Structure 1
Amino acid sequence: MKGIRWTGLIACSVLYGGIYIAIRYPLPADYTGHAQLGLLLFVVPGALAALTSKDSPLTAMVIAIALASPPCLILMQSGGFNRVGLGQEIAFIASAVFWCGSGTLGVMIWRTLMEMHHQQDGKRRL
């Protein structure tokens, strides 16, 4: 927990919750039966978690999701929003976790490649 910044964790949780509600909010005109490309938006909170905590980005992402998912699940299962079953909602959360993790891992790979690039530049100068 040393490398996790709480401001980044809270920002990631709020962003995750906002995207979750925006995608799952029942708008009849939105539903056309096509794949939901909105799930790709979950890459952004994962990337934010990785950018705000350099030492343990995956831990920060998991904590942010653990903080944000239960309130979102409770809200979506309440009377006004319930359009799918609990099992389908949990499957949606699992998919959101996958995409958040993809965003986190993408930033981690980018950082690793940049460090390798800087190390190679340093060797060339010597």
Structure 2
Amino acid sequence: MANYRYWLGIVSSFLLFSLVFLSQKSVTVNHSAVEHQSEIGLLLFVIPGLIASYLSIKKHILCPLLGALIALPLCLIIRYIGLLPGYSLWQELAYAVSAVFWCVLGAMLYLFIRMISQTLEQLRQRKRQ
């Protein structure tokens, strides 16, 4: 059962990361090159990290990281070959690496929230006794 949850975390991270990456990059093709827009859409990569970390049973950071790293070459190939490339390969690679960072940060955020909730639950139990 633990092996199933391990792969579930990786696959969910892979699918969600790919979905967010391709949706974000297909939207930014419409922006002109003269406008320098901030990439607030990178914050959406926290969601695949949160979900994959929740779904994996033990390796809460490794599963989202592996899923994102497996999805990264596929997303770059689809983006660079399949769609019209809007930016250079180096800019796309920098965006992709920062997306992996935000995905892992989402996994860490899940662990932080879980730790805080467990600590609060222990404090409530001590007050009841």
Q: TM-score scaled by structure 1?
A: 0.87
Percent identity over the alignment is: 26
Distance (whole Å) between structure 2 residues aligned to residue 125 and residue 72 of structure 1: 52
- The Cα of 1:48 is off from its aligned counterpart by 0.7
- The Cα of 1:93 is off from its aligned counterpart by 1.1
| Contact 1:4–1:56 under 8 Å retained in 2 | no
Distance (whole Å) between structure 2 residues aligned to residue 5 and residue 78 of structure 1: 31
Query: Is there any run of 5+ residues in structure 1 with no aligned partner, and where?
Result: none
Whether 2:21 is the aligned partner of 1:27: answer: no
Bigger CA drift: 46-55 or 75-84? 75-84
Distance (whole Å) between structure 1 residues aligned to residue 82 and residue 25 of structure 2: 14
Q: CA-to-partner distance for each residue in 1:42-86, whole Å, 9 max, x for gaps?
A: 010010111111421110011111221111011122164322222
**Structure with higher helix content:** 2
Report the equivalent of 1:15.
16
Specify the SS of the correspondent of 1:55.
coil
| Contact 1:12–1:45 under 8 Å retained in 2 | yes
Q: Mark the CA change 1:3 to 1:117 in structure 2 (over 3 Å): closer, same or farther.
A: farther
Bigger CA drift: 110-119 or 81-90? 81-90
Among 96, 106, 110, which residue is 1:107 paired with? Answer: 110
Q: Mark the CA change 1:120 to 1:82 in structure 2 (over 3 Å): closer, same or farther.
A: same
| Contact 2:7–2:56 under 8 Å retained in 1 | no
- Which amino acid is the alignment partner of residue 78 of structure 2? L
Query: Is there any run of 5+ residues in structure 2 with no aligned partner, and where?
Result: none
Distance (whole Å) between structure 1 residues aligned to residue 77 and residue 10 of structure 2: 21
Report the equivalent of 1:73.
76
Q: TM-score scaled by structure 2?
A: 0.85
Report the equivalent of 2:55.
52
CA RMSD of aligned residues (A): 2.0
Specify the SS of the correspondent of 2:13.
helix
| Contact 1:19–1:41 under 8 Å retained in 2 | yes
Distance (whole Å) between structure 2 residues aligned to residue 91 and residue 76 of structure 1: 14
Instruction: Give the total of aligned pairs.
Output: 125
Specify the SS of the correspondent of 1:67.
helix
- Which amino acid is the alignment partner of residue 98 of structure 1? F
